[in-house]
């Protein structure tokens, strides 16, 4: 089976000179496979003598069939949020240790990408979240999140008091250091370190995970991704809301954060034989067979 990837974009870790070598090696290989190569404009600043089209991410979203991200999971998070509206499939090449999202090593990059171009890959859809912040009747901020939306205490360190509703139904008033609304992808990120469950990415759910709650009975809750989560700040001098730690908005008492599933998923492509459970064993150092 042959793939339909005719135009492929290469995107590297932001301000990383180390990306130049693997990127140019991959670009030359793709060119030899008769693929049109695009390079992210910011990435191109780290590469000398670039002879490929350097475009902004918005333009890449409009033209590319596939984007290969060279870097780490943090880079993939940012690119996924940006390209999600454009239905561009993503492949992750990790320059360091294999990541949860970037699971191809630089050493095996050419062989693995070649197999993907030959149609030998596992496609996986991942959900994103969209969040809006309103102050009174005025919308003040909105952003997408691949991992999580996090409402957290401000720099002064005092606990948050939050009112939480799901589909309009009151769940609880909570005093805590914060509250995480996580996707299945984000279940292995901040939510995991806060005691949340690991959620298989094929599930269409969100996890509400308190951060250091004042009451031990406040436990993580897993809800359907069709739900709408509303969080109202009731008391804290300088709270904030973070979207994947890439975007943030300062909040005031009475501000409302509404989180729901984003309409479009992102498609991740993995090498043949990819196993989510095998990846967990590798990353979390679980016992192996």
Active site positions, annotated = 73
What is d(CA 264, CA 140) in angstroms, rounded to the nearest whole number?
23
Calculate helix-pair angle for 20-32, 109-117, nearest 10 degrees. 30
Cross-strand bridge partners of residue 144: 130
Q: Is 286 exposed, middle or buried (0-12, 13-18, 19+ CB in 10 A)?
A: exposed
Q: Percentage helix, strand, coil, to 5, in the chain?
A: 25, 40, 40
- 56 phi-psi bin (left φ>0, alpha ψ -120 to 50, beta other): beta
Structural Rg of the chain based on CA atoms = 20
């Amino acid at each position: 089976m042959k793939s339909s990837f005719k135009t492929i974009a290469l995107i590297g870790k932001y301000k990383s000179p180390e990306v130049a070598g693997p990127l140019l090696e991959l670009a030359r290989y793709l060119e030899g496979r008769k693929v049109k190569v695009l390079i992210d404009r910011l990435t191109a600043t780290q590469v000398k003598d670039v002879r490929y089209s350097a475009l902004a991410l918005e333009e890449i979203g409009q033209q590319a069939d596939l984007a290969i991200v060279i870097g780490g999971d943090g880079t993939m998070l940012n690119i996924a949020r940006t390209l999600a509206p454009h239905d561009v499939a993503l492949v992750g090449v990790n320059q360091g240790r294999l990541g949860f999202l970037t699971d191809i090593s630089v050493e095996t990059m050419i062989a693995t990408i070649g197999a993907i171009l030959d149609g030998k890959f596992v496609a996986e859809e991942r959900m994103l979240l969209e969040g809006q912040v309103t102050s009174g009747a005025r919308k003040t901020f909105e952003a997408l999140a691949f991992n999580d939306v996090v409402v957290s205490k401000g720099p002064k360190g005092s606990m948050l008091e939050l009112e939480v509703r799901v589909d309009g139904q009151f769940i609880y008033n909570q005093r805590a250091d914060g509250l995480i609304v996580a996707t299945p992808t984000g279940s292995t990120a901040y939510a995991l370190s806060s005691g949340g469950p690991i959620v298989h990415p094929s599930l269409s759910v969100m996890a509400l995970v308190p951060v250091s709650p004042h009451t031990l009975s406040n436990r993580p809750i897993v809800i359907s991704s069709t739900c709408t989560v509303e969080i109202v700040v009731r008391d804290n001098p300088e709270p904030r809301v973070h979207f994947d730690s890439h975007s943030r908005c300062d909040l005031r008492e009475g501000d409302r954060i509404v989180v729901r599933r984003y309409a479009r998923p992102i498609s991740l492509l993995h090498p043949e034989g990819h196993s989510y459970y095998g990846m967990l064993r590798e990353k979390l150092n679980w016992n192996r067979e």
